[in-house]
Structures are given as structure tokens and as C-alpha cells.
């Protein structure tokens, strides 16, 4: 691993979908209800691409998978923080679009169709055991962690398929989740969620 990579992002992330808790897709099993309707969000605490500072910005990705997620054919829409300037926007699109390698490239290799790339307001909140995302007029989601039998938060580590490989994922349940964009519309509650810190690099 390079000591000084051309890019690195560190921060916190969460996701929610329409699967029951906990989502079978990470174990390469069929989605609970036949398809998977995923929303993932990242808050970048610090990071750069070739020296360009990307700290403090948010990114979100909405995905629709028609069956087994590992089989690909996802439809995806990428959302980038409106506070990003033109260079930061391009850098984040390159990274989360998979052009810069690393785990984002693994995820994007499963995408068969990019529905759109938008610059929008993205509010990402991290409060105690809850995580919340708001993209006005497009998406809103809130999840809260599930307590494990030993008292700490329930976690999973190193599943075959995941959004973040650098940290164990806390298992959570959604309080609310709705999405409306690109001809897609859904609303769920009491469904699966995960959150953790993350590190992405080449």
C-alpha cells in the first residue's frame, strides 16, 4: 500500500435499503423482496485527490438492483454536495464513479446504467447511534443501530459484498427511507441499515 496515495478519503458513511434486517445481499443471497433499493451516503471528514482538498463534503448514491446484487446490472444515480467547486465536483465524480480505482471502482463495476450525476444539497447528520440523510425533494433516510447481545452495537465484519471494507459495519434499522428521482419512487421503514467509518484509497 502506498504511503502517499494519489487520493484518499476518510470519514463516515451509512446505507439503507428495502431488505429486512440484516440485508442478505452482503452474503451474496437474494434480496429479501426480490430486488434491492439502496441509498448510501458518505461524509468526507478529510481527503484529497492529487492534493485537491475534499474534506467536509458529502456524497450519496442511489442504486436499484433487479436481483442478486453480485450479478450487477444496477441502475445508479450519483449525488455530489453543492458546496463542491468545479474541481472538487470533478474529483468526487472520478472517485465515486470508479475511475480512480479502489473500492469505489469495485462497486461501480456492478453498475450497468448511470441514471444521472447531480450537484445537490446533501445534509448528513451523525448523532449518537443514529444517522440521517436529507437531499431536499429527492431523498430522506434515518437509521438507528441495533444493540447486540453483549450490550454493544451489533456489527458484521468482512462479508463478501459491502460498501466499506476498511471497518466493521454497525447493523441498524431504518426509521424512515424514501426516494424519488429518475422515475424511481419508493418509501420504506423498519428495514435494513448499516453504518461505519470508512477509508477509501487506490
Q: What is the pLDDT of residue 162?
A: 98
Distance from C-alpha of 86 to C-alpha of 25, rounded to nearest angstrom: 35
- For 157-165, what is the mean pLDDT? 98
Q: How confident is the model at residue 2 (pLDDT cuts 50, 70, 90)?
A: low
Give domain status of residue 100, yes or no.
yes
Give domain status of residue 65, yes or no.
yes
For 45, the domain range is 7-200
Give domain status of residue 130, yes or no.
yes
Give domain status of residue 74, yes or no.
yes
Give domain status of residue 2, yes or no.
no
Looking at the DSSP bridge assignments, the partners of residue 143 are 131, 174
Phi, psi of 72 (to 5 degrees): 80, -150
Q: Are 97 and 136 in contact (CB under 8 A)?
A: no
9, containing H or E segment: strand 7-16
Q: What is the pLDDT of residue 43?
A: 99
Cα separations in angstroms, 185 against 44, 154, 180: 27, 30, 4
pLDDT, the chain, mean: 97
Is 0.85 topped by the overall pTM? yes
Number of structural domains (the chain) is: 1
Percent of the chain with pLDDT over 70: 99
Half-sphere exposure of 2 (CA within 13 A, CB side): 9
DSSP string, 153-198: BPEE-S-SS-S-SSSPEEEEEEEEEEEEETTEEEEE-S-EEEEEEE
Give domain status of residue 34, yes or no.
yes
Amino acid at each position: 500500500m502506498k504511503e502517499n496515495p494519489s487520493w484518499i478519503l476518510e470519514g463516515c458513511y451509512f446505507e439503507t435499503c428495502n431488505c429486512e434486517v440484516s440485508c442478505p445481499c452482503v452474503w451474496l443471497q437474494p434480496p429479501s423482496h426480490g430486488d434491492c433499493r439502496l441509498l448510501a451516503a458518505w461524509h468526507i471528514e478529510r481527503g484529497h485527490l492529487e492534493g485537491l482538498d475534499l474534506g467536509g463534503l458529502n456524497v450519496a448514491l442511489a442504486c436499484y438492483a433487479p436481483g442478486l446484487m453480485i450479478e450487477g446490472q444496477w441502475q445508479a444515480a450519483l449525488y455530489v454536495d453543492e458546496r463542491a467547486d468545479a474541481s472538487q465536483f470533478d474529483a468526487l465524480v472520478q472517485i465515486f464513479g470508479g475511475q480512480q480505482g479502489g473500492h469505489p471502482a469495485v462497486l461501480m463495476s456492478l453498475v450497468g446504467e448511470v441514471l444521472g450525476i447531480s450537484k445537490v444539497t446533501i445534509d448528513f447528520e451523525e448523532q449518537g447511534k443514529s444517522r440521517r440523510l436529507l437531499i431536499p425533494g429527492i431523498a430522506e433516510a434515518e437509521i438507528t443501530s441495533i444493540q447486540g447481545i453483549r450490550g454493544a452495537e451489533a456489527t458484521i465484519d468482512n462479508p463478501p459484498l459491502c460498501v466499506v471494507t476498511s471497518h466493521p459495519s454497525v447493523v441498524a434499522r431504518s426509521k424512515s427511507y424514501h426516494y424519488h428521482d429518475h422515475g424511481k419512487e419508493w418509501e420504506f421503514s423498519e428495514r435494513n441499515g448499516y453504518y461505519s467509518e470508512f477509508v477509501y484509497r487506490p
